[in-house]
């Protein structure tokens, strides 16, 4: 199997489960927005934001380190045991210490959801690291399964707890815990990870390797968090929970796009690491970067073009103020995707310090712009600062990676990508039904034209499989 075929296959496997659950979750927006008030939606979003921050810190980003190093030792059972044992035991120690600090702080702050916070942190942290261990071992099918189980069970219990039991905030937080626990248990036992865990396999040398790779990712991830969600804290503080609920709803649409691109990103990070020492590395990376940026730009354009219709169907009118923020946040998501594509190349090179450097700089810019503008333009300060931050990451990483890897972009790809975004943005702003339909058709055709080689390859593979089955 060629590198491209493997990349395409892994993307398809991961994508099927991920997009099914994400699609169902997206279609449940009418349920969430009709039952939960903007204030309740904003509260849930804020609690999840705090959970994410604490989890990022306590994990010391070992989930990223363990994934990268397991790729290099898939045939060495002793090394796998040492890396996995060292990572899990270290994270367990940081988790216990973190919880011991978190509980009194939440008590002092009169935080009303402490038990949900603690159980979510435990479930999320172990769920994340188990997922990356499974992925690092090369069990892409099981990784997809547990990701699907986490998302689907969370969705199912959300519906049961919110619509059935009328639990509202508590229901959504409980559903997240259950989803992560189910996924962690399935991943742990299906891959028999217990056979890799032992105190005697704890290794200081492996710990140092993991720390060297992962520690620069801690400020990087925290700054990603700042870029992604600090605006929600600022919005809540200056404008209130209701405005945060509107902003959280606006982020649901770009999150769908980011989920789509992350499906590829998961496969790409592994593929890039495996290809790093190839003789045709630069040519291969140039080809994949051109194809992926062209594809994702056009997909983003199609989503923007379809939004006027989708918004009316999926969103309760009490959330109408979210509409124009979605366009800004979707373009931000595209910049976010490009930055992550470059980030995978730095990860493959094990140059994690530069990943952190670019993210720290953009996080500072995000905070400065947000705090400077929120008194003047309100909620738009959050969406605009996010877009600027992601753009800075993409530009800085592009400039730096081109010093190491010679990536050549095709003029056609760049021009048509920009054109598709312009067409869809005009249609979005005008918000006319006929123009919307025309924009959807135009951007869809541009997507097919720009990615015709990929489309032809997929069709050829499907024909070949169909023919074999028929015979």
Per-residue pLDDT tens over the stretch 356-401: 888 888 989 999 999 999 999 999 999 999 999 999 999 999 998 8
- For 117-147, write each residue's pLDDT tens digit: 888 889 989 988 898 898 888 887 888 888 8
CB-count exposure of residue 437 (10 Å: 0-12, 13-18, 19+): middle
In this prediction, residues 276-289 reach a mean pLDDT of 85
Rounded CA separation 72/351 (Å): 16
Q: Is the pLDDT of residue 453 over 80?
A: no
Burial pattern 123-136, b for ≥16 Cβ within 10 A else e, equals bbbbbbbbbbbbbb
Query: What is the per-residue DSSP string for 148-194?
Result: HHHHHHHHHHHHIIIIIS--THHHHHHHHHHHHHHHHHHHHHHTTGG
In this predicted structure, what is the pLDDT of residue 333?
93
Is it the case that residue 467 has pLDDT exceeding 70?
Answer: no
Q: How far apart, in whole angstroms, are the C-alpha atoms of residue 410 and residue 395?
A: 17
For residue 101, name the pLDDT band (cuts at 50, 70, 90): confident
Confidence (pLDDT) at 454 = 67
pLDDT of 459 higher than 80: no
Model confidence pLDDT, tens digit, residues 171-193: 888 888 898 899 889 989 988 88
With 70 as the cut, is the pLDDT of residue 275 above it?
yes
Model pLDDT for residues 390-435, shown as the tens digit of each residue: 999 999 999 988 888 888 888 888 888 888 899 999 988 888 888 8
Task: Among 231-235, 262-266, 287-291, 387-391, name the most confident range.
Answer: 387-391
pLDDT digits (tens, 9 = 90+) for 305-338: 988 888 888 887 878 888 889 999 999 999 999 9
Euclidean distance between CA atoms 370 and 301, whole angstroms: 26
Is there a contact between 339 and 393 (Cβ–Cβ < 8 Å)?
Answer: yes
Question: Is the per-residue pLDDT at 469 higher than 60?
Answer: no
pLDDT of residue 5: 65
Q: Do the beta carbons of residue 205 and residue 152 sit within 8 Å?
A: no
CA distance 378 to 373: 7
Confidence at residue 53, expressed as pLDDT on a 0 to 100 scale: 80
Share of the chain above pLDDT 70, in %: 89
- Whether 16 shows a pLDDT value over 70: the answer reads no
pLDDT at residue number 19: 57
Give the tens place of pLDDT for each residue, 31-84: 677 777 777 777 777 777 788 788 878 888 888 888 888 887 878 888 889 989
Sign of CA dihedral 409, 410, 411, 413: negative
Question: Which tokens hold the place of 19?
Answer: 């997009």
Q: Report the pLDDT averaged over residues 337-343.
A: 91
């Amino acid at each position: 199997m060629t590198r491209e075929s493997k990349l395409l296959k892994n993307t398809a496997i991961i994508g099927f489960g991920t997009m099914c659950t994400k699609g169902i979750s997206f279609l449940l927006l009418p349920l969430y927005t009709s039952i939960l008030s903007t204030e309740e939606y904003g509260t849930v979003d804020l609690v999840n934001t705090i959970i994410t921050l604490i989890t990022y810190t306590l994990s010391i980003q070992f989930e990223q380190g363990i994934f990268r190093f397991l790729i290099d030792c898939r045939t060495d059972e002793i090394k796998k045991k040492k890396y996995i044992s060292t990572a899990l035991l270290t994270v367990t120690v940081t988790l216990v210490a973190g919880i011991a600090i978190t509980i009194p702080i939440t008590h002092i702050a009169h935080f009303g959801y402490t038990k949900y916070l603690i159980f979510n942190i435990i479930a999320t942290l172990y769920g994340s690291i188990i997922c990356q261990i499974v992925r690092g071992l090369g069990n892409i099918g099981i990784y997809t399964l547990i990701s699907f189980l986490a998302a689907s069970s969370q969705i199912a219990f959300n519906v049961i707890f919110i619509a059935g039991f009328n639990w509202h905030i508590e229901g959504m937080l409980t559903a997240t815990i259950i989803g992560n626990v189910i996924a962690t248990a399935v991943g742990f036992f299906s891959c028999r990870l217990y056979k890799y865990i032992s105190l005697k396999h704890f290794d200081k040398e492996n710990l140092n390797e993991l720390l060297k790779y992962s520690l620069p990712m801690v400020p990087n991830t925290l700054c990603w968090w700042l870029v992604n969600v600090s605006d929600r804290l600022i919005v809540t503080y200056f404008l209130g929970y209701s405005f945060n609920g509107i902003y959280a709803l606006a982020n649901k649409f770009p999150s769908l796009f980011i989920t789509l691109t992350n499906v590829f990103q998961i496969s790409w990070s592994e593929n890039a690491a495996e290809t790093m020492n190839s003789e045709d590395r630069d040519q291969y990376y140039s080809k994949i970067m051109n194809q992926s940026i062209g594809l994702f730009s056009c997909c983003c354009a199609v989503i923007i073009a379809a939004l006027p219709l989708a918004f009316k169907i999926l969103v309760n009118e009490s959330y109408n103020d979210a509409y124009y923020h979605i366009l800004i946040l979707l373009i931000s998501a595209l910049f976010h995707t490009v930055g992550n594509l470059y980030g995978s190349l730095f990860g493959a090179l094990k140059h994690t310090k530069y990943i952190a450097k670019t993210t720290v700089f953009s996080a500072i810019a995000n905070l400065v712009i947000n705090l400077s503008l929120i008194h003047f333009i309100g909620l738009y300060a959050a969406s605009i600062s996010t877009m600027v931050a992601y753009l800075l990451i993409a530009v800085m990483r592009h400039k730096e990676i081109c010093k190491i890897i010679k990536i050549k972009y095709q003029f056609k790809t760049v021009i048509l990508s920009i054109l598709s975004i312009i067409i869809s943005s005009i249609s979005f702003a005008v918000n006319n039904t006929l123009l919307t339909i025309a924009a959807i058709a135009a951007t869809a055709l541009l997507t097919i034209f720009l990615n015709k080689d990929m489309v032809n390859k997929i069709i050829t593979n499907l024909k070949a499989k169909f023919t074999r089955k028929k015979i």
